[in-house]
Amino acid sequence: MDLRYTPEEQKFRRELASWLASEVPSYGTPPSVHDWPARRAYDTGWQKKLFDAGYAGINWPKEYGGRDATLIEQLIYFEEIAKANAPYVGCNFVGVLHGGPTIMAEGTPDQKAKHIRNIISGAEVWCQGFSEPVAGSDLAGLQTKAVRDGDHYVVNGHKIWTTFAQIADYCELLVRTDPTAPKHKGISWLIMPMNLPGIDIRPLPTLEGEGEFSEVFLENVRIPVENLVGKENDGWRVTNVTLRFERGTAFASEMINLQAFVRGLVKLAQKITSHGATAWEDKALRRELGHLSGELESLWAMVKLSVCEAKASGVPGVGASAVKLYYSELYQKITELGLRLLGRAGLSRSDVAGLPAQHLLNRHLNSLSISIAAGTSQIQKNIIGERILGQAKDPAPAKA
């Protein structure tokens, strides 16, 4: 159990930190969340900068333009990105983390030639068409239908939670191509150009009052058969291939941000006074924040442990669900302290009386999505209970 970084790892960190120190301040601040074209330009512009400097596709193989960094270097990467307050991966998320890696693994030579370089260099933006109103946690129950018509699939259905649909060029789309097969066996993975006729995008405002979500309605959308990735009806396996790319570093940057958030709460507590004393003199608050900060330290150690296990075994550590559960709960508890410190100032979502209400409220409201997105906490607990602890599955309800 050695926490010391190798000379190569230290060199990687130094070089990245110095590059970030020179590039981040001059890149400017993010545009308004309502200005979609500007957001796309900001996110993809940063992706291009990363690409030119050799820091894009940190986990992608070199032959596809990636860095092919070790898992430890990836951890360092996310740590330094967060410390430098560099732009978030933003609208490049789906392409760089899911779409690109899937095409690398399962795509045809033509598909690779057309998309890989564009994704990693920020020229192409992707969105994800997986979830449906009737298929959330039970994703394999999806019903969007694709029927073969000559050299096209004709697609009809309704997707939801589609992030950045407004500005995406392509969508990784899961469709049902065999309605008679068992649910996991009749799914296919298609590349859908977002400019095709029949695609209707309707924004779905989140409880934050804005956000990147849309519903996507598909009516007789004709997608060329050459856009099929992998074999027809093999889409479920194709989808799960990308999971291999994600080996425990998913929330690394956010965790480092959370450490900075805690320090921000301490500073705020030192400023807020009531009954002649600062909030930071309140022993109960100090204990609670100290406790949560200690948990955050252990969470970061959990990430290191799971990354090192994944590096050694080549497969995701069994603890990935545990990391996500612990992180979600901690994130919500820590950001809740922000609201408690604000008190009645937190009735406003804009800054009032010199207090950062906007930031604190946004962080806490956003935290409520963490225990839902990418597998709800309840699904994660089923995974742990069944796959790790070996408990029996819930029996299916008896047919009426």
Summarize as ranges the residues that interact with another protein (CB under 8 A).
1-6, 9, 72, 262-263, 266-267, 270, 280, 283, 286-291, 293-299, 301-302, 304-305, 308-309, 311-312, 319, 322-323, 325-326, 378, 380-382, 384-386, 388-395
The nearest distance, CB 161 to another protein, in angstroms, is: 24
The nearest distance, CB 255 to another protein, in angstroms, is: 12
The nearest distance, CB 272 to another protein, in angstroms, is: 14
Give the whole-angstrom CA distance, residue 248 versus residue 75.
Answer: 9
Measured from the CB atom, the residue of 193 and 385 that comes closer to another protein is 385
The nearest distance, CB 259 to another protein, in angstroms, is: 10
Given the structure tokens 């970030």, which residue do they identify? 20
Residue 308 Ramachandran class (φ > 0 left, ψ -120 to 50 alpha, else beta)? alpha
Give the whole-angstrom CA distance, residue 239 versus residue 219.
Answer: 23
377 Cβ contact partners less than 8 Å away, ≥ 6 residues apart: 324, 325, 328, 329, 371
- Enter the DSSP assignment of 64: G
Measured from the CB atom, the residue of 5 and 213 that comes closer to another protein is 5
Largest CA distance in the chain: 78
Measured from the CB atom, the residue of 312 and 315 that comes closer to another protein is 312
Measured from the CB atom, the residue of 181 and 388 that comes closer to another protein is 388
Measured from the CB atom, the residue of 4 and 275 that comes closer to another protein is 4
The nearest distance, CB 277 to another protein, in angstroms, is: 15
315 Cβ contact partners less than 8 Å away, ≥ 6 residues apart: 244, 247
The nearest distance, CB 261 to another protein, in angstroms, is: 12
Give the whole-angstrom CA distance, residue 388 versus residue 337.
Answer: 33
Measured from the CB atom, the residue of 33 and 272 that comes closer to another protein is 272
The nearest distance, CB 185 to another protein, in angstroms, is: 26
Nearest C-alpha neighbor of 102 from the set 213, 228, 247, 218: 228
Measured from the CB atom, the residue of 196 and 305 that comes closer to another protein is 305
First to last CA, the chain: 55
Cα 200 versus chain centre, distance: 24
SS3 333: helix
